[in-house]
Amino acid sequence: MFKMPEEPDLGLESTRTVQQQIDTNELTIPIVSNDLLTASPSVKTEENTLTYTICTDSSTEVPVVSPSSGQNVTESAAYAISGKSIVPVMNMASVGGATVPVIQAQGFPMSVATSGSQTTNQATVSMMIQGVGGSGPLTLIYPALMAENSSASSTNKTSASTSMVMSQADAMSLPSGLITVTPQTESMVLPSGGDILSGLMNQESLELKHAPGTQKEMIDISELAAVTPSIHNAITSQIIMQIKNEGVAQANEQTEEKANNSDGNVRSPTTTTGDESEEGMYMPKLKRIKTSTSLSKEDKICRVCGDRALGCNFDAISCESCKAFFRRNALKDKQPRCLFDSNCKIDVNTRRFCPFCRLQKCFAVGMKKELILGEVEKKKRNEKVRMNREKRSSKSTVISESPSTPVIDTQAPVVSSGTPTSPTIDTSPSPQQQQPVSTVTSHEVLLHSLTSQSPKQESILPSVQSSSGILGMGLTLGGMSFAVAGSSLPQTNSLPSIPVTAPDVTNLLSLSKFAQKNEISATAQLDTLLMRHLTTEENNMLQELMQVYDLSFTVDLEPLIHIKHLDPSLNQLVNQSSITVLRLIKFAKRLEEFIRLTQQCQIGILKGTWIHILLLRSVSLYDSERDVWVTPKGDIPTEILKNATGFVKLHDDHVRYCKNIKAIIRDDLMIVVILLVIVLFSPEGPNVINRDLVSNIQDKYLILLKHYLESKYTYMRAAEMYPALMSKLKELKELAEIHGKYLLDVNPSEIEPIMLEILDLK
DNA sequence: ATGTTTGCTTTGACCTCG
DNA sequence: CCGAGGTCAAAGCAAACA
Ligand SMILES: [Zn+2]
Ligand SMILES: [Zn+2]
């Protein structure tokens, strides 16, 4: 089990080392870094085995202990652990208490940056190591930790109540030094080992980010970038071959999908518990180990992290922790970005390490933030609870207090759940000054919103349902959705989150990037041939775009402020759109390229494209299967909306457009977002000053779109999709023009200032 | 320069409620 | 039961301390 490394060390050259020779059989992973960390783990591959070799300089001790059982290394080395807790696979290094990112390229060359201030002798690096036959987490502890230290800290309470708290101190007692872990391939394909395999294609690109406070230099990325793809491909294909040879089934999380509902058909009827224990094997659980207590129910599995789930939370099967996590974070405006490629693997062990990706995954599996109660509801609820409690306590203390007294509710009569709500303002956080949109009077609203920096901006936006599409959606959705929903729609809510699972059936290759990367299947190899690999930069751009979009357009539950319910006049609709326009501005302002434009130019492109953008965005709200607009408050059949607004033809055209485009993009929101940006940077608008510049930016996104399509849908499909989308953009122009014509009829006196501004009315 | 303490934030197992 | 929200001690971090 423990072997001394065949190759001594390389450690000392703590410089910007870069991968030397690319040999699939002997890969070295240099960990380059500052003074503190100097270790060079390497992955060595042999037939059917994966060997992890950690090379360090003389002073470094690297305890890598038995994986699975915590004893037998060969059994599942992929789960390298430190101490007795299996340190999660993650791309984070903890140095002296400070967490720093581990820069890595495709899981190979990597370096660790330590934060400048925190220099200590204590560093733990956990990483994913990949090689032929599998991949797995590996943790380096450098140098040896002080036993007293950690034990002391963990002593206080934990230990007593929990079954096991193995601090790293324990690692000390284990043999340290250079150790080679040699797992057997087959162990890696066991169902329980799905994780290993799934981690394979994981780290795709490298990212360079200076750790906060770090002034150390990093490796030269360009060099790495050049090297890694080949390594990756080579390894990948070998892995695939091996998998095939072994006749392995791809055991993955995907499996669970089917498993959960059907029943525990799985292979473990016998071992309900055994199952658990096996899992526990790589469940670090530094904390309370109780987790999987009872065997009870057909354990549902958290779609986010794979932990045991009790039921549905926010519309997705999820565990308690993910539920709490989602509740606490989904509505936050800001979430620290992912330090890597925004595709961190999220499982029960790693879920804590990247909140961004965790949240992303929450959404990906269908959790809906709309289901989080709003401030108002919460308050009401708390109030009730409090009163009930009081009552109860008094009852108990005073004993008898006679009968019930149900009478609590003070509250208003109809608090219907839907709460379309209305009036009120709400609440919301803080006492901010509720600045209704309308109060802003200056003409320069537009300008103002472009300039203002204050976060207040946010509060100005009456959070509306995201719906507000273009001119209400094409002059419709926005206001209407509200009105209609408010009235009495069947509230088709709750449809099973089909979207999440369905798409795959149609197109194997259209798996989400997420799934794609975490899944090893026979098609994986094919994919690498047929699909483009996005560069890190591209990945980052996409990620950022999506985030910006989320931040800007997504909605909260708060009620619309001033919209009279029925009778959607044109003016009403236009006003409704103002909210979305404000969001659009918010969105644009978060785009670096946009901000760099002159203000005049900014206003120019906004004025020229806002209708297009609102229209285009509405595509994401359209559900072609059911022909409804999906809004947080429920679905609205397009027919209803159409008739309600009276703009029949207009609406029909719009719906048709959405339907068509949806046929191309399916549920890929990313495409919509890229298109939005492309449209935003349209150089042909009337008031655009620097057309060349704008055009260049647009080109950049056009390319990004193409690459994105190629990376996600194969070159072949991209070749069809891209042109199709381009033609849709052309149609969009026409559609927007028609909508624009209607706008000429608005009565300026009743229009929100922002809209007057953007419509060039006064 | 290091090991300790202290204080604040996040997690997550449990619990209350309707 | 389910599934919202709330609770609170443990775990993590980072800065203040010694
Ligand atoms: Zn979970
Ligand atoms: Zn991440």
- Any atom of strand C under 7 A from CB of A175? no
Q: Measure the CA–CA gap between A228 and A106, rounded to whole angstroms.
A: 6
Q: Measure the CA–CA gap between A51 and A54, rounded to whole angstroms.
A: 10
- Write out pLDDT tens, residues A245-271: 222 222 333 333 333 333 333 222 222
Contacts (Cβ under 8 Å, ≥6 apart) of A394: A401
The nucleotide lying nearest A307 (C-alpha to C1') is B12
Confidence at residue A673, expressed as pLDDT on a 0 to 100 scale = 92
Confidence at residue A644, expressed as pLDDT on a 0 to 100 scale = 66
Q: How far is the CA of A91 from the centre of ligand 2 (A)?
A: 9
Q: How far is the CA of A361 from the centre of ligand 2 (A)?
A: 10
Check if the beta carbon of residue A585 is closer than 8 Å to that of residue A599.
no
Confidence (pTM): 0.39
Confidence at residue A698, expressed as pLDDT on a 0 to 100 scale = 94
Confidence at residue A758, expressed as pLDDT on a 0 to 100 scale = 76
Longest dimension (CA), chain A: 84
Q: How far is the CA of A362 from the centre of ligand 1 (A)?
A: 9
Contacts (Cβ under 8 Å, ≥6 apart) of A297: none
Check if the beta carbon of residue A95 is closer than 8 Å to that of residue A120.
yes
Confidence at residue A729, expressed as pLDDT on a 0 to 100 scale = 94
Give the distance, in angstroms, between residue A320 CA and nucleotide C3 C1': 11
What is the b/e burial string over A572-594, where b = at least 16 CB atoms within 10 angstroms of the residue's CB?
A: bbbbbbbbbbbbbbbbbbbbebb
Check if the beta carbon of residue A709 is closer than 8 Å to that of residue A634.
no
Nearest ligand, measured from the Cα of A309? 1
Nearest ligand, measured from the Cα of A539? 2
Check if the beta carbon of residue A96 is closer than 8 Å to that of residue A154.
no
Confidence at residue A322, expressed as pLDDT on a 0 to 100 scale = 94
Give the distance, in angstroms, between residue A751 CA and nucleotide B5 C1': 61
Over chain A (762 residues), the average pLDDT of each successive run of 10 is 25 21 23 28 27 29 31 21 29 35 27 27 39 39 28 25 23 24 21 24 24 24 23 24 26 32 30 29 30 45 90 91 93 78 82 88 89 79 70 53 32 30 31 30 45 35 35 39 30 28 26 29 48 79 81 52 47 72 85 87 88 88 77 66 73 86 88 94 88 92 92 87 93 87 77 74 58
- Any atom of strand C under 7 A from CB of A315? yes
Q: Measure the CA–CA gap between A564 and A423, rounded to whole angstroms.
A: 10
Q: Measure the CA–CA gap between A540 and A535, rounded to whole angstroms.
A: 9
Q: What is the DSSP letter of A619?
A: G
- Write out pLDDT tens, residues A291-323: 333 334 456 899 999 898 988 899 999 999 999
At A416, list the tokens. 């219907």
- E strand intervals along A570-697: 622-623, 628-631, 634-637
Q: How far is the CA of A359 from the centre of ligand 2 (A)?
A: 9
- Any atom of strand C under 7 A from CB of A157? yes
Confidence at residue A242, expressed as pLDDT on a 0 to 100 scale = 24
Q: Measure the CA–CA gap between A108 and A110, rounded to whole angstroms.
A: 6
Q: How far is the CA of A706 from the centre of ligand 2 (A)?
A: 24
Q: Where are the alpha helices (DSSP H) in A330-470?
A: 355-364, 375-397, 445-451, 456-460
Q: Measure the CA–CA gap between A17 and A109, rounded to whole angstroms.
A: 8
The nucleotide lying nearest A305 (C-alpha to C1') is B12
DSSP SS3 for A50:
strand
Distances (CA, A) of A667 to A503, A544, A613, A680: 8, 19, 18, 21
ipTM of the complex: 0.93
